[in-house]
Amino acid sequence: MIGKQPFGRTGHLSTRVIFGGAALWEMTQEEANRVLELLLEYSINHIDTAPTYGDSELHIGPWMERHRDDFFLATKVDLRTYDEAWGQIRASLDRLRVNHLDLIQLHNLIEPEEWDVAMGSDGSLKAVIEAREQGITRFIGVTGHGLTAATMHIKSLERFDFDSVLITYSYILMQNPDTAAEFDSLMKLCREREIAVQTIKSIVRRPWGDREKTRTTWYEPLEEQAAIDKAVHWVLGNPDVFLISVGDRQILPKVLDAASRFEAHPSEEEMRLLLDEQEMEPLFV
């Protein structure tokens, strides 16, 4: 059983694991249906996707025609101007076969130049605010990858009262003291303002480097169930965050299985041993 908790101040009780639509990147609808069946099996009630995740929105669309009321549905805009963002919003509604969304997020907003455009008078934030005023979305979020994400999210929250943030979070990443301190500052602000915190890349092992890429994740993931258990349980051991599931359909069942058995935060000794055994390396340096 995967637990639920309030998704920030939205009033929605979301499962601690949110389905990451990137797992549906490139496959047939029949294959996608088999992946989506896992959401019902594990009672996942929150989906996160994006127009840039290949065919993800197209594959989720048929499910929304039958299950719209069963899911908190989130997508993203990654273009920075007002007109571009509206184009993405309308296209996402068509692909997802819905007339409204629960959450639209400004995607990977960490580059200062892009931030200035998106937050400007003719930027994508203006379009998303209008979408909320028109009932097309209920809530607005911001996402970011990389070492500067926490700092940029704090800057974004100083400009606008976002309902959610999304950020990279894993044991190996938090071994960087500066990154951990910046993450903690963001968490403090989000707790104070009841902003939902979503995390990604929980089961990163290391960058692919020169090794053959055998998974659809852009990092090399942990593969063994015992290792995935520890990584997932470490994230879920932070009661203030949600975990967005992995973007590889073969690894996905292992992540959901791990989450369904979560009981307690692994010890520091266990995580240190995992780091050494799996030869883990930080994804961002």
Low-confidence ranges of the chain (pLDDT < 70): none
Q: What is the pLDDT of residue 26?
A: 87
Q: Is residue 283 part of a domain?
A: no
Q: Is residue 85 part of a domain?
A: yes
Q: Is residue 148 part of a domain?
A: yes
Q: Is residue 202 part of a domain?
A: yes
Distance CA(109)–CA(112), nearest Å, equals 8
Q: What is the pLDDT of residue 35?
A: 95
Range of the domain at 135: 4-277
Q: Residue for token digits 């605010």?
A: 129
Q: Is residue 173 part of a domain?
A: yes
Distance CA(132)–CA(14), nearest Å, equals 20
Q: For 241-270, what is each residue's pLDDT tens digit?
A: 999 999 999 999 999 999 999 999 999 999
**Total tally of structural domains belonging to the chain:** 1
Q: Is residue 270 part of a domain?
A: yes
**Bridge-based pairing state of the strands 164-168 and 4-6:** unpaired
CATH of the domain at 173: 3.20.20.100
Name the residue type at position 15. Answer: T
Q: Is residue 163 part of a domain?
A: yes
Name the residue type at position 208. Answer: W
Q: Is residue 285 part of a domain?
A: no
Q: What is the pLDDT of residue 229?
A: 98
DSSP letter string, 29-96 = HHHHHHHHHHHHHTT--EEE--TTSTTHHHHHHHHHHHHGGG-EEEEEE---BHHHHHHHHHHHHHHH
Q: How far apart are the first and last CA of the chain?
A: 36
Q: Are 230 and 200 in contact (CB under 8 A)?
A: no
